[in-house]
Structure 1
Amino acid sequence: MTSRITTLIAEDEPLASEALADWVAQLPQLELVGVCADGITALAEIRRLQPGLIFMDINMPGMTGLQVLRSLAEAEADADAQQRVIFTTAYDEHALAAFELHAADYLLKPFTQERFNEAVEHALRSVVSSTQLQSTVEAAADEQSPLTRILVRDQGKIFPLQVDAIEYLRSDIKYTAVASAGKQYLVRLPITAFEQRLDQQRFLKLQRSCIVNLDFVVSMTPDENSQLIVQMQDGARFTANRDVSKKLREQSI
C-alpha cells in the first residue's frame, strides 16, 4: 500500500484553516498531521514532524510564512527535510519571493477546491518514491543570482514563466508588464526588482523603464538623433537611450 503524504497546515484564519483541513481529508494520498495558527509554532512543528507537504499562509503572527521558509533553508539540518510548501495568501506581492524560495505553488485567496487540488497534484509530481517527496526547502537563492522563472497571473491563476521565454519588460513605478508569446502579464513589482536578477548576457536595459531579451530582437536602427530603435519579433519598438546606443554601436563588428 502506498504511504500517505504527511501534511501540515499553517494558517491563522480559522475558516481558511478548516476549509484546508476538510479538503486535505478528502484526498486519500494526504494525511493531516498538524494544524497551527502562527509562524513560530509552524516552524517548530515543521522541524518536529518533518511533513511531506505544507500549506502555509504568508501573513501570520510571530513569523511570516516567508520567514519560516527562510529559517528552514538557513538551517543545514532542515535543508534536507522532505517537504514541499504551498503558500496561501490574499496578496500577490510576495509571489516572486515565494517562488525563489522554491515554493511548490502559490494559492491566491479566495481559491476554489479545484485550484487546491491542482496545487496538490503539482506538488505531488515531485514525489521521488512511493513514500517521500523530493526536498524543496533549499538555501534561499543569492539575491544577485540570475532568475530562471517568475510567477505571473493569467485569468485568475498564478503560474511559473520561464525567464528565457520573456521577450521584454516595461514598467512604471509600481508595475511591470512582462511580454511573452503574444501576451503581456502585469506583475506588481517595479522593473528594478528584476534588473539585477536577469542574465546580463541575454537581457539588455534600453532605458529606465524597458529591458529587452536580445534573443527576440529583430534589428536595431539609428534614428535622426543616432539613438537606436530596437525592433522586437512581436512588432514592438523601443528607443535605446544615448549611452546604451553608443555602447551597442561600439560593440558591433
Structure 2
Amino acid sequence: MRTLIAEDEPLAREGLADWVRDTPGLQLVGAVGDGPACLRAVRELQPDLLLLDIQMPGLTGLQVLRELGRDPAGAAPLPAVIFTTAYDEHALTAFELHAVDYLLKPFERERFDEAVAHARQLRLVDRTPPPEALEAASGGAVAGPLTRLLVRDMGRIIPLQVEQIEHLRADTKYTAIASQGHTYLVRLPITHFAARLDAQRFLKVNRSCIVNLDFVESMTPDESSQLVVRLRDGSRFTASREVSKQLRADAL
C-alpha cells in the first residue's frame, strides 16, 4: 500500500516513517508537515493509505479531506485514512468520515500495526465519505443525526446501522453498544454519541445509558417511583428522577 504521512511534528513524522518502512506491504511515498502540502501530495501521489494528523498548519486534516471531496468527478478516490492525533474530541467525526482508525497520541507500535491491518482488510472497499460528512467535518454544514458507525468485531470492521442499536452503556473510557445480540466496545465516551443520536428515537435514561425507544418493551415504577425501562432483550435500566418525571408528563 502506497503510504503518505501528514504530520507537523518532525520527530513524530520521522517515527511514523520508520514504522512504515519497517512494515511489510507498505511503501512510503511521502511525508509532509502541513495541510496544504498534504493536499498537494494526495492529489499528485495518489496514495492508498494516508496517516493524517488533525491539527496542522495551513489546513487541518479534516479540512484537507473536505477539499479533496470537492475534486471533480473522475478524480482519484480518497485513500484509506488513519487519523493520528493528540485530540480525542474529533473521534466521532472520524467515524462519520469512515476512517480506518483513530490513533490517539502517544500510541504504541501494536496499535499502529492493528490500524494498518484494518486498512489492508478494507483496501477494496469504497471509503469515500459523502460530501455532507466532509462539509460538516470542517465546520461547514451542521451534520444531521448519525446513521451509521463502524465497529470492530473479532478482527473485522462492521458497518452498523444506528437504527439497529438497542442501547448504549458507558464502560469506563469506552461505550458498549448493543445490537442484535452482540456488544461492541467503541473507544469513545457515551457523551460523544448523545448529541448526535436522533432524539425522536434515542432516550438518555441516565448518565451512563441511552436506549432506543423502538426496542423498549415497558416502563414500570420501582419502589422509589423511578421508571425501570425494560428492553425486548431483557435488559433493564433505571431512569433518573428527572427523566422519569418527564416520561410521565409525556405519556398520553
TM-score, normalised by the number of residues in structure 2: 0.72
Say how many residue pairs are matched.
229
Aligned to 1:122: 118
Percent identical among aligned pairs is: 48
Aligned AA (2:106): P
Distance, in Å, in 2 between the alignment partners of 1:245 and 1:160 is 37
Deviation at 1:50, TM superposition (A): 1.5
Deviation at 1:184, TM superposition (A): 8.5
Q: Are 2:128 and 1:136 aligned?
A: yes
Distance, in Å, in 1 between the alignment partners of 2:109 and 2:221 is 54
Distance, in Å, in 2 between the alignment partners of 1:176 and 1:199 is 23
Structural mapping, 1:6-155, within 5 Å? 6-77=2-73, 81-128=77-124, 134-141=126-133, 143-149=143-149
Deviation at 1:118, TM superposition (A): 0.9
Question: Structure 1 pair 111/208, CA: closer, same or farther in 2 (3 Å)?
Answer: closer
Deviation at 1:10, TM superposition (A): 0.3
Aligned to 1:237: 238
Deviation at 1:138, TM superposition (A): 3.8
Deviation at 1:201, TM superposition (A): 5.7
**Which secondary structure state, in structure 1, belongs to the residue aligned with residue 115 of structure 2?**
helix
**Which secondary structure state, in structure 2, belongs to the residue aligned with residue 69 of structure 1?**
helix
Distance, in Å, in 2 between the alignment partners of 1:177 and 1:72 is 31
Aligned AA (2:115): A
Distance, in Å, in 2 between the alignment partners of 1:111 and 1:65 is 18
Tell me, yes or no, if the aligned pair for 1:84 and 1:123 is still in contact at 8 Å.
yes
TM-score, normalised by the number of residues in structure 1: 0.72
Tell me, yes or no, if the aligned pair for 1:150 and 1:160 is still in contact at 8 Å.
yes
Q: CA RMSD in A?
A: 3.6
Structure 2 unpaired stretches of 5+: 137-142
What do the CA deviations read for 1:133-178 (whole angstroms, capped 9, x no partner)?
64434424371143322789xxxxxx989544452467xxxx9984
Structure 1 unpaired stretches of 5+: 153-158
Structural mapping, 1:104-253, within 5 Å? 104-128=100-124, 134-141=126-133, 143-149=143-149, 162=160, 163=162, 164-165=164-165, 167-168=167-168, 178-180=175-177, 187=188, 190=191, 194-195=194-195, 197-200=196-199, 202-206=201-205, 211-214=210-213, 217-222=216-221, 228-231=227-230, 233-239=234-240, 240-247=243-250, 249-250=251-252
Aligned AA (1:49): L
Question: Structure 1 pair 125/88, CA: closer, same or farther in 2 (3 Å)?
Answer: same
**Which secondary structure state, in structure 2, belongs to the residue aligned with residue 236 of structure 1?**
strand
Deviation at 1:7, TM superposition (A): 1.0
Distance, in Å, in 2 between the alignment partners of 1:109 and 1:24 is 17
Question: Structure 1 pair 113/215, CA: closer, same or farther in 2 (3 Å)?
Answer: same
Distance, in Å, in 1 between the alignment partners of 2:21 and 2:213 is 49
Aligned to 1:156: none
Deviation at 1:211, TM superposition (A): 3.7
Question: Structure 1 pair 178/112, CA: closer, same or farther in 2 (3 Å)?
Answer: closer
Distance, in Å, in 2 between the alignment partners of 1:60 and 1:178 is 29
What do the CA deviations read for 1:228-247 (whole angstroms, capped 9, x no partner)?
44346444311434443243
Deviation at 1:66, TM superposition (A): 1.3
